[in-house]
Structure 1
Amino acid sequence: MRRVATGLLLLMAAVFLVSRQYVGLHPGVGYVMAFAEAAMVGALADWFAVTALFRRPLGLPIPHTAIIPTNKDRIADTMAGFLRANFLTPQVVARRLHGMNVARALGEFLADPAKRDQIGVRAGVAELIAEVLESLDPERLGEQVRGGLKHQLDKLEVSPLLGNALGAAIADRRHLPLIDATVRWAGLTLEANEALVRDMIHQRANALLRWTGLDERLANSVLDGLYRLLAEMLVNPDHPVRAKVEEGLEKLARDLVHDPAMRAKVEGIKREMLESEALGTWWQGVWERMRHGLIDAARNPQGVLSGQLGGMIAELGEAVRGDPRLQAQINRFARRSAVGVANRYGDQIVRLVSETVKRWDAQTITERVEGAVGRDLQFIRINGTLVGGLVGVTIHAIDHLL
């Protein structure tokens, strides 16, 4: 477009030179020459105006030229103030979001796999997430996450939580399968270590019992008694030993909630675990597996959004799309969040815009603003050429008539 505008100026110059040679042949040639002459003036004037916005015409130090590079700091502050006053105020954000059903749009997006697949930015965002996760120091990041969890757990008193959970499980009789599983485990453990138990009894028996062979009978009796006890506990819900176990569990649940000594003991165990190097090593391994899983998921967004997870996402979208009350809650949350961001971080956002523009050099801001306005700058020159020519013809006609 710059070449077109310049070519039109050269064309008007050529028309002017030719028409000037034949101005006496016909009165109409005078109109053509007047049009070309005024068109050149208009083209040159608008070229100067457009050029003066971004640079000095012909490199000459003419006052009030190169306006944008010279005043870029003031423009940056003005732009930031305009953005803050007209876009990032809580009132403007709330009014803009009031008529938007963000939740329904989100539900339709999640419910329709075709729409999710059409969003090309998803792959770019996923790749960006993967690169960020890969670029971060895994040990340092893991330590930071561990430190955050440790800080939160350190403020949380776990003893009452455990006591209430255990009490609720006992009230709902959900602890019975755990007792049965423990009894079965004890039986299997005894069976697997029967030889060890027999050896212990033989070693503790005196010489007389070993000489008479009563130690073997004693070992058989002990093992049979233990097997019989475990079997009776397993088949009899009202067995006295089971009752004692349940009584102990109920007492433990009460102590975890109400006994200061027990609560202090549990808190001590919690702090020891949080300070344990073994726990830190275990957590680092867990975090590494989580990080690699997130990277793999980001590298393969299509696979993540397919299968069972994709079905769950689609069901969530259907639920949001078909529930006006849920949409109202989500929209209210979105409005409050956006208003909170505008209110809390609006100044930082516009300051970022202002400081970014101020850091640009003269050439950068010239290229970016000129590129953003684009072809319209050259249409100013073209329009100036044509309008100037029409004005020249009009003036020539009035002069001819008078």
Structure 2
Amino acid sequence: MTNAKAVRTPVDGVPAALIRMRRIAAALLVVMAALFLLARSQAGGHPAWGFVQAFAEAAMVGGLADWFAVTALFRHPLGLPIPHTAIIPRNKDRIGDTLALFLRDNFLTPAVVARRMHRADVAAAAGRFLADPPERGRLWRGASRLIADMLEALDQERLGGMAKTALAERLRELDIAPMLGQALDAAMAEGRHAPILDGIIRWADKTLESNEHLVRDMVHARAGAVLRWTGLDETLANKIIDGLHKLIADMADDPAHPLRSKAEEGLVRLAEDLRFDPAMRERVFAIKAEILDNPAVERWWMGVWERSRAGLLKMVRSPDAAFAGQFGEALRQLGETLQADRRLRRTINRFARRAVAGAAADYGDGIVRLVSDTVRGWDTRTVTDRLENAVGRDLQYIRINGTLVGGLVGLAIHVVDVVL
């Protein structure tokens, strides 16, 4: 309550500091007038009164001139419609347009934003924050509540749909076949494909074991009557199944098995086709499009989005909990990595510059129009009061300085007149 009273008065929302400065400037002018009258009444006395009179007279002129200049900015002095007064109310729309153009030319053009962002090390700042989080004070809690309120205020379906659409568009444009080919090449060069082959072999063994009855049914259906009458079809089926199990076991035990070598040759050809074969790349592109168009994928993505949003809300509502436990340790490690890895910082900073510059390109004109239209929509009294409350205190110092400087100039002129 004490701070609120110090900032504003209950009358018209005018800051108390502005009212105080107005009173000081007016009181100083009254003092100069009283001093002038006193000096004039003592004109026949000591010669020093002449200097006092010259100072007070010039101070009144200077104070009144600056009062007129300051008042003319916001209103007509004494309510008189003097030309070229009430400057701000008469030029309200032009001020709004000029302010909007200033914002656009100095802050909201992509080139300016990119140039300013080039000097900003966003990644390093984020790294320092994550590695050594600041004290969770009022500012921290207020920012957390603001972010949480913004997330809850946004339309879940619309925001999730926008994020899903943006991600899907990026995935549709992405040619993943060469990337898969390069990843497969790198995995085979480093021997990281062996566990995958082992997994495929184990999966084949389990699949065969679960479907032995299908092999028996197939052999029984295709065997002749003699084989079925003698029961040799069952023996043949068992031999086939045992042979397949043995083949799979040999492949699992022998890294140099011919079939494993054939499989590796097939992987090499697949990697090459993924990178260079247009037909293979078209097939991968078609499969990717079919997956993205699947309603199940859309439902899965919306579920992921909602869980991510709920997790983010929980984190910002409880920042202390977010920086505790394994998740907090992971965030701290990420912060240390951001500070140590120069290449990663450059990548993140480049992404941040492009994102902010893109936002300026997409929304800069809209923000400019918003500022201009908002100022145009204000009534004249609102514009005048807001500007006067913002800079009026400093303008009252102009009145005080004008009074004192005017007095000193008048005193200097009187000294020169007396000496000459």
TM-score of the pair, normalised by structure 2: 0.68
Residues 112 and 314 in structure 1, CA contact (< 8 A), matched pair in contact too: no
Equivalent of residue 329 in structure 2, options 287, 300, 307:
307
1:110 to 2:127 alignment: yes
Please report how far the alpha carbon of residue 387 of structure 1 lies from its aligned counterpart in structure 2 after TM superposition.
Answer: 3.2
Structure 1 distance, partners of 2:87, 2:194, is 83
- Residues 1:32 and 1:261: Cα distance change in structure 2 (over 3 Å): closer
Please report how far the alpha carbon of residue 29 of structure 1 lies from its aligned counterpart in structure 2 after TM superposition.
Answer: 4.8
Residue ranges of structure 2 left out of the alignment (5+ in a row): 1-20
Equivalent of residue 167 in structure 2, options 149, 153, 170:
149
Alignment correspondent of 2:6: none
Give the secondary-structure state (helix, strand or coil) at the position aligned to 1:375: helix
Residues 198 and 219 in structure 1, CA contact (< 8 A), matched pair in contact too: yes
Equivalent of residue 174 in structure 1, options 192, 211, 217:
192
Please report how far the alpha carbon of residue 89 of structure 1 lies from its aligned counterpart in structure 2 after TM superposition.
Answer: 9.2
Equivalent of residue 46 in structure 1, options 53, 57, 66:
66
Residues 131 and 336 in structure 2, CA contact (< 8 A), matched pair in contact too: no
Equivalent of residue 273 in structure 1, options 291, 295, 306:
291
Give the secondary-structure state (helix, strand or coil) at the position aligned to 1:117: coil
Residues 133 and 295 in structure 1, CA contact (< 8 A), matched pair in contact too: yes
1:58 to 2:72 alignment: no
- Residues 1:114 and 1:385: Cα distance change in structure 2 (over 3 Å): farther
Structure 1 distance, partners of 2:359, 2:282, is 45
Please report how far the alpha carbon of residue 66 of structure 1 lies from its aligned counterpart in structure 2 after TM superposition.
Answer: 0.7
Please report how far the alpha carbon of residue 277 of structure 1 lies from its aligned counterpart in structure 2 after TM superposition.
Answer: 1.0
Please report how far the alpha carbon of residue 54 of structure 1 lies from its aligned counterpart in structure 2 after TM superposition.
Answer: 1.2
Structure 1 distance, partners of 2:337, 2:177, is 38
1:316 to 2:338 alignment: yes
- Residues 1:165 and 1:297: Cα distance change in structure 2 (over 3 Å): same
1:370 to 2:388 alignment: yes
Residues 144 and 319 in structure 2, CA contact (< 8 A), matched pair in contact too: yes
Residues 131 and 335 in structure 2, CA contact (< 8 A), matched pair in contact too: no
2:385 counterpart letter in structure 1: E
Alignment correspondent of 1:232: 250
Judge which range, 284-293 or 170-179, deviates more: 170-179
Residues 183 and 233 in structure 1, CA contact (< 8 A), matched pair in contact too: yes
Judge which range, 143-152 or 294-303, deviates more: 294-303
Alignment correspondent of 1:183: 201
1:69 counterpart letter in structure 2: P
- Residues 1:145 and 1:24: Cα distance change in structure 2 (over 3 Å): same
Structure 2 distance, partners of 1:210, 1:124, is 82
Cα deviation, 1:151-181, whole Å, max 9, x if unaligned, reads 3333344445445544554455433322212
Residue ranges of structure 1 left out of the alignment (5+ in a row): none
Residues 108 and 318 in structure 1, CA contact (< 8 A), matched pair in contact too: no
Give the secondary-structure state (helix, strand or coil) at the position aligned to 1:289: helix
2:330 counterpart letter in structure 1: Q
Structure 1 distance, partners of 2:224, 2:206, is 29
- Residues 1:382 and 1:258: Cα distance change in structure 2 (over 3 Å): closer
Structure 1 distance, partners of 2:364, 2:90, is 25
Cα deviation, 1:116-156, whole Å, max 9, x if unaligned, reads 62798776666554444333222222222332333333334
Alignment correspondent of 1:295: 313
Aligned length: 393
- Residues 1:60 and 1:345: Cα distance change in structure 2 (over 3 Å): farther
- Residues 1:238 and 1:3: Cα distance change in structure 2 (over 3 Å): same
Alignment correspondent of 1:380: 398
Q: What are the within-5 Å matches in structure 2 for residues 176-255 of structure 1?
A: 176-188=194-206, 224-243=242-261, 245-246=263-264, 248-250=266-268, 252-253=270-271
1:11 counterpart letter in structure 2: V
Alignment correspondent of 1:140: 158
Cα deviation, 1:87-141, whole Å, max 9, x if unaligned, reads 88999999x979x9655x9647734879862798776666554444333222222
1:9 to 2:26 alignment: no
1:283 to 2:301 alignment: yes
Structure 2 distance, partners of 1:295, 1:114, is 21
Give the secondary-structure state (helix, strand or coil) at the position aligned to 1:146: helix
Alignment correspondent of 1:69: 89
% identity of equivalent residues: 53
Give the secondary-structure state (helix, strand or coil) at the position aligned to 1:63: coil
Give the secondary-structure state (helix, strand or coil) at the position aligned to 1:272: helix
